[in-house]
Chains A and B, each alone.
Chain A
Amino acid sequence: MQVYEAPLRDMRFVLDELWVDDGFGDLPALAEFDADLTSAILEEAARFSREVLLPLNRTGDEEGCVLENGVVRTPAGFKDAYKQFTESGWAALAADPQWGGQGLPERVNKLVEEMTCSTNLSFGLYPGLTHGGALALEAHGSEDLKQRYLPKMTSGEWSGTMCLTESHCGTDLGLLRTKAVPQEDGSYKISGAKIFISAGDHDLTENIIHLVLARLPDAPKGVKGISLFLVPKFLPNDDGSVGPSNGVQCTALEHKMGLKASATCQMQFEDSTGWIVGEPNAGLAAMFTMMNAERLSVGVQGLGVGEAAYQSAVWYAKDRLQGRALSGPKYPDKAADPIIVHPDVRRMLMTMRAYNEGCRMLGGWVSRALDAERLSEEPEARQRAEDFVALMTPIVKALFTDLGHETAHLAVQVYGGHGYIRESGVEQYARDARIAMIYEGTNGIQALDLVGRKLGANNGRFLRSFFHPVSAFIEANKGDGPMKPMIDGLEKAFGALQLSTATIAQRGLSDPEEAGAAASDYLRLFGLVAMGYCFARATLLSGMKIAFGAEDKAFYEDKIKTATFYFERILPQVSALFLQIKAGKKSMMALTEDAF
Chain B
Amino acid sequence: MKILVPVKRVIDYNLKPRVKADGTGVDLANVKMSMNPFDEIAVEEALRLKEKGAATEVVAVSIGPAKAQETLRTALAMGADRAILVETDAEVEPLAVAKILQAIVAEEAPGMVVMGKQAIDDDSNQTGQMLAALLGWGQGTFASKVDVTGDSVAVTREVDAGLETVSLKLPAIVTTDLRLNEPRYASLPNIMKAKSKPLAVKKPEDLGVDIAPRLKVLKVSEPPVRKAGVMVGSVDELVAKLKEMGAVA
Contact = CB atoms under 8 A, between A and B. Distances in A.
A5 B14 CA distance: 10
B73 interface: yes
B195 A47 contact: no
Given A36-B195, A40-B74, A93 B30 contact: no
Interface residues on A, range: 20 to 34
A103 B185 CA distance: 20
Given A36-B73, A37-B191, A102-B192, A44 B30 contact: no
Contacts of B192: 37, 41, 102
Nearest to B184: A88
B195 A37 contact: yes
Interface in B58-89: 70, 73-74, 77
B30 A552 contact: yes
B186 interface: yes
A88 B185 contact: yes
A89 B188 contact: yes
B191 A40 contact: yes
Contact of A88 (B30, B73, B187, B195): B187
B189 interface: yes
A108 to B, nearest CB: 11
Contacts of A41: 188, 191-192
A551 B30 CA distance: 8
B4 interface: no
Interface residues of B, number: 16
Interface in A540-596: 551-552, 554-555
B185 A84 contact: yes
Contacts, number: 49
A39 B192 CA distance: 11
Nearest to B186: A44
A455 to B, nearest CB: 40
A450 interface: no
Contacts of A87: 187
Contact of B30 (A90, A104, A554): A554
A40 B185 contact: no
Interface in B1-49: 14, 29-30
A555 B31 CA distance: 12
A248 B30 CA distance: 54
A92 interface: yes
A234 interface: no
Interface in A18-70: 32, 36-37, 39-41, 44, 47-48, 52
B195 A44 contact: no
Nearest to B32: A8
Contacts of A52: 185
Given A48-B185, A88-B187, A89-B187, A40 B30 contact: no
Contacts of B14: 5
Given A37-B192, A102-B192, A44 B73 contact: no
Contacts of B194: 40
A102 B185 contact: no
A44 B189 contact: no
B189 A40 contact: no
Contacts of A104: 188
Contact of B73 (A40, A47, A551): A40
Interface string A520-534: 000000000000000
A5 B13 CA distance: 13
A554 B31 CA distance: 12
Nearest to A93: B188
A36 B71 CA distance: 12
Interface in B134-186: 185-186
Contacts of B186: 40, 44, 88
Contacts of B74: 40
Contacts of B29: 551
A287 B183 CA distance: 41
Contact of B189 (A89, A552, A554): A89
B185 A47 contact: yes
B73 A92 contact: no
B45 to A, nearest CB: 19
29 contacts: A36-B73, A40-B70, A40-B73, A40-B74, A40-B77, A40-B186, A40-B191, A41-B191, A44-B77, A44-B186, A44-B188, A47-B185, A48-B185, A84-B185, A87-B187, A88-B185, A88-B186, A89-B187, A89-B188, A89-B189, A92-B188, A102-B188, A102-B189, A102-B192, A104-B188, A551-B30, A552-B30, A554-B30, A555-B30
Interface of B: 14, 29-30, 70, 73-74, 77, 185-189, 191-192, 194-195
